[in-house]
Structure 1
Amino acid sequence: MRKESLKSIIIFLVFSSLMWGQKIGDIANIVGVRDNQLIGYGLVVGLNGSGDKSASKFTMQSIANMLESVNVKVSPNDIKSKNIAAVMVTATLPAFAKQGDKLDIVVSSIGDAKSIAGGTLLMTPLTAVDGNIYALAQGAISLGESGNLLSGNILSGASVEREVSYDLYNKENAILSLKTSDFQNAIRVQKVLNGVFGENIAKAIDSRTIKIDKPKNLSMIEFLALVQEVNVDYSMREKIIVDERSGTIIAGVGITVEPIVVTHGEITIKITQDTLTDPKATDIGDGTTLSPSQNIISTNGKKPTISSVVRALQKMGATPKNIISILSAMKQSGAISADLEIV
């Protein structure tokens, strides 16, 4: 087996227990307090012949429009410059951002430019989904060390021009939205908040939503600051996360696999709790043994886990792609009860 194939799969064994204390601020959002996405179309100038070619008609038209705004009239067909590139500009407008606040922006080429390195973004209005302009962007582009010549950043490259109005201070109640839907967790948050504040200020509306009423002796800002710091016993669903591109697998330490026989391509493997009789079987850790000649993984009386199965498949020469396919098949067959998420 190639070393790079072995190295490309990493097992992170995390969280020996699925019940653990978390701050409410880490597991729930306050409804209405959120970021907003901004987008704009602009031009990057000052490129050293690496900009869009004349075949990019929208770029040439944009240049003509820009020049016309400064009283220079020219036909798009007469523009032959390769020092300008059309780009899309994106930014995130944080909750409660005020006029004059600075935003980081991302600038990405949309034409046939070879590079936007060394370019300067001309003033670009950034709009939200409602069509209103919320920020203006401009500045010199930095590509960093990513190696991508067609996308860069401008730190503090946009200035907020319009605020998103949200009067949180004068509200008498707020809504918490759990990041993961779970009835038990919603009830736990309800109980712990009612216990901390000594009155029925919290009420779970559904598996994700908890309505909270502000105590009379606190402002809404003070109340929410305290709520976010309250610890709650929060249960996490068992989950296996697979990054298909890198071959990384992240799984809880206790996720088990039911005994099963799996065939994938040239690989056939039996997963069992029975003790192996093969004298050539090797110990691969955690009391798990592998018989390559019989294609058997045995956990010797214990429930097989995802970590032991993956280690055994690695020993048998399975590639990351093979292992991901086998895990998916095991999930579909019911041998794995935990959620499997491929990203």
Structure 2
Amino acid sequence: MLVTPRVSAMAQQVPIKGLGRFEGWRDNALIGYGLVTGLAGSGDTRRSAVTRQALRNVLSRLGTTVTDEQISSRNVAVVLVTAVLPASANIGDRIDVTVSSVGDARSLAGGTLIMTPLLGPDQQTYALAQGPLVVGGYNFESELNQQQRNYPTTAILQAGATIEASVDAAILNNDGQLSFLLDDPSFTTAQRIADRISARFGLGVASVKNADEVQIRFAGNAAGLAPFMSALENMTIQPDATPRVVINERTGTVVAGGDVTISSVVIAQGDIKVTITADKIASQPSFISGFASDVRSLVVTNTTLEVDQGSEDVAFRFPSSTIADLVQGLSQARVDTRRTISILQAMKTAGALHADIIVK
């Protein structure tokens, strides 16, 4: 699929809040280690010593003592629980969590996560997760027959964790300044942001520290911070547009601004297809009577090699133009997306494509 908008995506006024974030305002990762119970024989096997130990620990906290030999159920699985703590969270708020199997469980479908503390990087508990899992797949097995859809060893617990410690992001540093961090570093964009803020709040309020950072001075009191931040976020500027061509080789998608320019170039595109087919045939010896103990079956491999030169070779010339014209010409020549990607990469190497190529 080829996407070539005629107008650059950044050639318009954009709110400042869409170009980056304020330093200190960030999410935080949480992680926990727990048990999922209630599985219909699809949990960890007895070979998983970690599962048996974790189950003994849980039962001991509930006042039940069992030995290692007494635990043989496959209805339990050891899991890792992950979540994202928002930049601002209050006690009692609920967040989503992801549960992933650690052992050799086949599926977490139908399971329930036992209360699991979620820890931050400082090893403090910020949330507790518990509840029934939602699995977007299945795995059924019977007598060596198996059917699986998606990945049943990973599940989602919607609003399954409760915040136990409040978090408030600190965006003002000790000098009473804010730092705005750009997602796409650019001195031009940073200077436009600083000029726009200074024009609104006074000369010298904002200054460019680097291509990815604008420092903003706040001279008011705590009560005036929220209105000041709201005004900053909703200011609009025209950011600098960096010519880019984004290529996703897995899906065959090319996205580029229609105003990305190219120099005069001649392109020759051919196609050679090589096919190798291997057939394996088992040769079973036969005897008139009796069997020989030192005779075994023989597997014979027959290989066929085919080379297809291709019948859709093309050669064409483009004058100085835009990438939109190039893609249109390639489409008229019936060049598929995969070959278009290789052409764009070759043009970049040859210096004919004046844009950054990002391959994902």
**What TM-score results when the alignment is normalised by the length of structure 1?**
0.80
Is 1:296 the equivalent of 2:300? no
1:32 to 24, 28, 37: 24
Q: Is the 8 A contact 1:201 1:213 kept in 2?
A: yes
Q: Which amino acid aligns with 2:128?
A: L
Report the alpha carbon displacement of residue 93 of structure 1 after superposing the two structures with TM.
0.5
Tell me which residue corresponds to 1:162.
165
CA distance in 1, matches of 2:121, 2:60: 28
SS in 2 for 1:236: coil
1:89 to 81, 84, 92: 81
Tell me which residue corresponds to 1:175.
179
Pick closer, same or farther for the CA change 1:323–1:78 going to 2, 3 Å: farther
Task: Provide the identity percentage.
Answer: 33
Tell me which residue corresponds to 2:56.
64
Report the alpha carbon displacement of residue 304 of structure 1 after superposing the two structures with TM.
5.0
Q: Is the 8 A contact 2:25 2:170 kept in 1?
A: no
Is 1:239 the equivalent of 2:273? no
Report the alpha carbon displacement of residue 192 of structure 1 after superposing the two structures with TM.
0.4
Tell me which residue corresponds to 2:356.
339
1:15 to 7, 12, 28: 7
Runs (5+) with no aligned partner, structure 1: 1-8, 268-291
**What TM-score results when the alignment is normalised by the length of structure 2?**
0.77
Is 1:252 the equivalent of 2:286? no
1:324 to 304, 319, 341: 341
Correspondence list, 1:204-243, <5 A: 204-216=208-220, 219-243=224-248
Runs (5+) with no aligned partner, structure 2: 138-148, 273-310
Query: Could you say which structure has the larger radius of gyration?
Result: 2
Q: Is the 8 A contact 1:14 1:253 kept in 2?
A: yes
Pick closer, same or farther for the CA change 1:314–1:102 going to 2, 3 Å: farther
CA distance in 2, matches of 1:27, 1:115: 41
Pick closer, same or farther for the CA change 1:256–1:38 going to 2, 3 Å: same
Q: Which amino acid aligns with 1:193?
A: I
Tell me which residue corresponds to 2:141.
none
SS in 2 for 1:20: coil
Q: Is the 8 A contact 2:6 2:259 kept in 1?
A: no
The CA deviation string for residues 49-107 of structure 1, in whole angstroms up to 9 with x for no partner, is 11111222222221122222223223335421111111111111001211111111111
Report the alpha carbon displacement of residue 167 of structure 1 after superposing the two structures with TM.
4.5
Is 1:121 the equivalent of 2:140? no
Number of residue equivalences: 309
